[in-house]
């Protein structure tokens, strides 16, 4: 009887009502829980990553009666001049100091990004796992910088017996370090933290990809010649300053929603100023071999530009034909340095594509409701806030050099030849000597050593 009543009652209800009621309740409960978790995460981010609106320097200006707009302008101006002065001082110290500065900036950028990840995935209570993030930074730097330094300083490293295994087995050691990191990561996994730990593992590696790649490209560009580092970096700085100036005084039309303060007036004005600045600074640096010659290792164990190098094609004056329309006014040719055209290409990239590195960083910060990556530099934020556009620029210049310049470094080639077997070295020597004699570089064709003569090893 009871079963019959239940059956009739269920028949009166719409089809699927009983079956769907429970899942819908569960779905609503899950959605509410998810919303609560998202809200809690946002509150945690605001509490942990929140940064003061005004620095001490700005508070002093506020006490003196400056408006908010004036405080912002003065603060940015003062600390921009200070950073440019400090950077110029490091440039005067030499290329090795520049490389050390890049390493310091790289570590600081890694710290600022990874610190946000610690807060998001709440891994502050996993000290061993936090140490692993820094371990992977050290291991990846050992691979990147070791690989590059061996190419240039292989001769110096081979002078020291205990460093020779680091040269011969560099990649094996690098791979072993990374495998050790994977093992330690697996051993550090804790129950109820799996998702957070694997998310932070991915966060760490993405950060390493962005930060380490840029630093590695910066160093490679320096070894091609300081001009390939100074000009691109100064172009980004110029574009950032002039875009801010034009936007501050003339900006009215918003450019992109991710950065409400960015305007079309600032974007266009900064772009034109960057092209003009690029031409001027390039024309000045071209005349100094200290900036145009690639870095080389000397027997006194120093690394510096070879000021006696043969100038690259890009740094020599050449004649270019003008379109026929200029012939009407009597101009048929123009004398120019090829690097000027390269600087224009880099200026256009710094003006059009470079700012999107900043927009990307702005979107990242908005996703986590933070104003800046850190509060290290008043008026600017953290180091990462100043180098978001530089990352794209460093990658572009490195690709540009490999695609259009391809500056060959004899010390790099000699270092590679030193790692060959004796027989291969003699074959290389005979081939090069034969080539130079046949092309008239070396006198005396009868003294040439041909490949059909077997090398004599003593």
User: What is the signed CA dihedral for 406, 409, 410, 415, rounded to 10 degrees?
Assistant: -120
C-alpha to C-alpha distance for 136 and 21, rounded to whole angstroms: 50
Structure tokens at 114: 């990874």
Structure tokens at 98: 């520049």
Structure tokens at 297: 């290792």
Nearest 5°: the CA angle 175, 176, 177 is: 90
Task: Examine the pLDDT at 85 and tell me if it is beyond 50.
Answer: yes
- What pLDDT is attached to residue 400? 95
Task: Examine the pLDDT at 241 and tell me if it is beyond 60.
Answer: yes
Task: Examine the pLDDT at 133 and tell me if it is beyond 60.
Answer: yes
C-alpha to C-alpha distance for 403 and 60, rounded to whole angstroms: 51
C-alpha to C-alpha distance for 72 and 9, rounded to whole angstroms: 72
- What pLDDT is attached to residue 162? 64
Task: Examine the pLDDT at 297 and tell me if it is beyond 90.
Answer: no
Residue 454 Cα distances to 67, 180, 448, angstroms: 83, 47, 13
**What single DSSP character describes residue 401?**
I
- What pLDDT is attached to residue 394? 95
C-alpha to C-alpha distance for 353 and 347, rounded to whole angstroms: 10
Helix axis angle for 227-250 and 264-285, nearest 10°, is: 150
Average pLDDT, the chain: 81
Task: Examine the pLDDT at 186 and tell me if it is beyond 90.
Answer: yes
Helical segments of 189-328, H only: 194-224, 227-250, 264-285, 289-292
C-alpha to C-alpha distance for 214 and 388, rounded to whole angstroms: 10
Among the ranges given (18-22, 72-76, 193-197), the one the predictor scored with the smallest mean pLDDT = 18-22
- What pLDDT is attached to residue 71? 84
38, 48 in Cβ contact below 8 A? no
Instruction: Find the mean pLDDT for residues 214-228.
Output: 92
Task: Examine the pLDDT at 322 and tell me if it is beyond 90.
Answer: no
9, 17 in Cβ contact below 8 A? no
C-alpha to C-alpha distance for 358 and 345, rounded to whole angstroms: 20
Scan for tokens 């100038």, then name that residue. 311
CB atoms within 10 A of CB 399: 11
Percent of the chain with pLDDT over 70: 78
C-alpha to C-alpha distance for 246 and 273, rounded to whole angstroms: 10
Instruction: Find the mean pLDDT for residues 262-290.
Output: 95
Task: Examine the pLDDT at 103 and tell me if it is beyond 70.
Answer: yes
C-alpha to C-alpha distance for 51 and 116, rounded to whole angstroms: 13
Single pTM value for the model: 0.79
Kind and range of the H or E run holding 305: strand 303-305
Residue-wise pLDDT for 429-438, tens only, equals: 888 888 888 8
Structure tokens at 234: 């100064």
pLDDT greater at residue 124 or residue 85: 85
Instruction: Find the mean pLDDT for residues 175-203.
Output: 92
Residue-wise pLDDT for 386-427, tens only, equals: 999 999 999 999 999 999 886 566 666 776 777 788 888 888
Q: Sign of the CA dihedral 89, 95, 96, 100?
A: positive
Helical segments of 121-193, H only: 127-159, 164-168, 170-188
Instruction: Find the mean pLDDT for residues 278-295.
Output: 93
CA count, 13 A, side-chain hemisphere, 42: 9
Question: Is residue 202 very low, low, confident or very high in pLDDT (cuts 50, 70, 90)?
Answer: very high
192, 333 in Cβ contact below 8 A? no
261, 267 in Cβ contact below 8 A? no
Task: Examine the pLDDT at 88 and tell me if it is beyond 90.
Answer: yes
C-alpha to C-alpha distance for 306 and 172, rounded to whole angstroms: 33
C-alpha to C-alpha distance for 42 and 369, rounded to whole angstroms: 8
Of 81, 47, 74, 77, residue with least CA distance to 60: 74
CA count, 13 A, side-chain hemisphere, 419: 19
């Amino acid at each position: 009887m009871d079963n019959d009543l239940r059956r009739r009652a269920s028949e009166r209800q719409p089809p699927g009502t009983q079956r769907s009621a429970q899942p819908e309740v569960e779905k609503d409960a899950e959605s509410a829980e998810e919303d609560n978790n998202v809200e809690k995460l946002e509150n945690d981010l605001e509490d942990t990553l929140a940064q003061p609106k005004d620095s001490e320097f700005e508070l002093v200006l506020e006490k003196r009666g400056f408006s908010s707009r004036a405080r912002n302008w003065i603060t940015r101006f003062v600390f921009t001049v200070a950073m440019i002065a400090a950077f110029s001082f490091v440039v005067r110290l030499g290329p090795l100091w520049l490389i050390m500065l890049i390493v310091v900036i790289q570590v600081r950028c890694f710290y600022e990004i990874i610190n946000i990840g610690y807060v998001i995935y709440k891994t502050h209570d996993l000290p061993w796992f936090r140490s692993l993030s820094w371990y992977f930074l050290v291991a990846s730097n050992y691979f990147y910088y070791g690989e590059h330094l061996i190419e240039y300083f292989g001769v110096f490293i081979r002078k020291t017996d205990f460093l020779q295994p680091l040269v011969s087995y560099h990649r094996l050691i690098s791979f072993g370090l990374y495998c050790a990191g994977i093992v330690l990561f697996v051993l550090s996994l804790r129950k109820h933290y799996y998702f957070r730990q694997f998310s932070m593992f991915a966060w760490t590696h993405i950060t390493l990809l962005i930060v380490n790649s840029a630093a590695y490209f910066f160093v490679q560009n320096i070894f091609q010649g300081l001009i390939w580092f100074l000009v691109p970096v100064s172009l980004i700085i110029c574009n950032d300053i002039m875009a801010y100036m034009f936007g501050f005084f003339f900006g009215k039309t918003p450019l992109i929603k991710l950065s409400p303060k960015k305007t079309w007036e600032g974007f266009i004005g900064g772009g034109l100023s960057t092209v003009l600045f690029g031409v001027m600074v390039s024309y000045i640096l071209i005349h100094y071999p200290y900036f145009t010659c690639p870095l080389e290792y000397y027997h006194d164990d120093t690394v510096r530009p070879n000021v006696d190098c043969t100038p690259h094609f890009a740094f020599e004056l050449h004649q270019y034909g003008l379109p026929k329309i200029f012939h009407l006014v009597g101009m048929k040719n123009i004398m120019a340095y090829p690097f000027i055209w390269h600087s224009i290409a880099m200026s256009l990239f710094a003006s059009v594509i470079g700012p999107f590195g900043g927009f990307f960083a702005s979107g990242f910060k908005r996703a986590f409701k933070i104003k800046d990556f850190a509060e290290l530099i008043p008026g600017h934020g953290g180091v990462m806030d100043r180098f978001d556009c530089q990352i794209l620029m460093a990658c572009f210049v490195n690709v540009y050099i490999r695609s259009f310049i391809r500056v060959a470094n004899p010390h790099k080639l000699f270092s590679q030849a030193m790692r060959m077997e004796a027989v291969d070295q003699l074959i290389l020597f005979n081939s090069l000597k034969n080539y130079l004699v046949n092309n008239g570089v070396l006198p005396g064709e009868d003294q040439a050593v041909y490949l059909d003569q077997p090398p004599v090893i003593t």
